[in-house]
């Protein structure tokens, strides 16, 4: 019985809370004598900067390769630390694996030194390549300039690019640079 009374009171209170308040400037005849609000004006220049992480979402074998290359070159002890990480990931858990994991930083440094002795330019080339691939795929960006000249939707909107890419042959000879 108490629940029924509480429910009745709640429904009564809610139906009595309708917005039936007038501020006195509406005579109720629907003539619409009030002035409409002015429209918004979007005229101006807008700059849009978008950054995308292409490497994380790259599908298939190419995505796996790019992400592996980035992972193999993003640490101070890479590439040998990455190789050891791959080997340790294949091992069964146990005390032997724990001992090897504890020694991994020292072994990675030693192996990197030996690799540097055998192929002096290989490590720096791989690391540089990985850093460039990471910069291109993890921080891929688009800079746009949108100029709205007015005129509403449709005519009057112009998209103007701000960056003219260098010719392909120049990029092939000199590489990519971020000079602006």
Model confidence over 82-107: pLDDT tens digits?
A: 999 999 999 999 999 999 999 999 99
DSSP characters over 87-142: HHHHSPSSHHHHHHHHHHHHHHHHHHHHHHHH-HHHHHHHHHHHHHHHHHHHSEEE
- Using one digit for the tens of pLDDT, what is the confidence trace for 138-166? 888 888 887 777 655 555 555 566 666 67
pTM of the model: 0.51
Residue 46 lies in a domain: yes
pLDDT tier at 174, thresholds 50, 70, 90: confident
Average pLDDT, the chain: 77
Cβ(73)–Cβ(126) under 8 Å?
Answer: yes
Cβ(147)–Cβ(158) under 8 Å?
Answer: yes
Domain count, the chain: 1
Give the per-residue pLDDT at 180. 46
Residue 117 lies in a domain: yes
Domain that holds residue 147: 42-163
Q: Is the pLDDT of residue 114 over 90?
A: yes
CB atoms within 10 A of CB 78: 21
Order of strands across the sheet with 44-52? 44-52, 140-148, 157-161
Residue 51 lies in a domain: yes
Q: Is the pLDDT of residue 45 over 80?
A: yes
Residue 54 lies in a domain: yes
Residue 170 lies in a domain: no
Tell me, rounded to whole angstroms, the distance of Cα 98 from its chain centroid: 36
């Amino acid at each position: 019985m108490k629940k029924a009374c509480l429910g009745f009171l709640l429904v009564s209170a809610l139906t009595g809370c309708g917005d039936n308040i007038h501020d006195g400037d509406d005579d109720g005849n629907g003539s619409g004598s009030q002035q409409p609000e002015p429209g918004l004006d979007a005229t101006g220049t807008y700059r849009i900067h978008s950054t995308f992480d292409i490497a994380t979402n790259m599908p298939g074998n190419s995505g796996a390769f790019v992400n592996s290359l980035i992972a193999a070159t993003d640490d101070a002890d890479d590439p040998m630390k990455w190789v050891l990480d791959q080997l340790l990931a294949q091992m069964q858990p146990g005390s032997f694996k724990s001992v090897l994991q504890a020694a991994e930083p020292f072994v990675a440094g030693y192996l990197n030194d030996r690799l540097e002795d055998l192929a002096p330019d290989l490590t720096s080339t791989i690391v540089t390549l990985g850093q460039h691939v990471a910069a291109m795929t993890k921080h891929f960006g688009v800079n746009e300039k949108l100029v709205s000249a007015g005129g509403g939707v449709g005519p009057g909107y112009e998209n103007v690019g701000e960056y003219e890419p260098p010719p392909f042959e120049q990029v092939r000879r000199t590489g990519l640079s971020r000079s602006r």
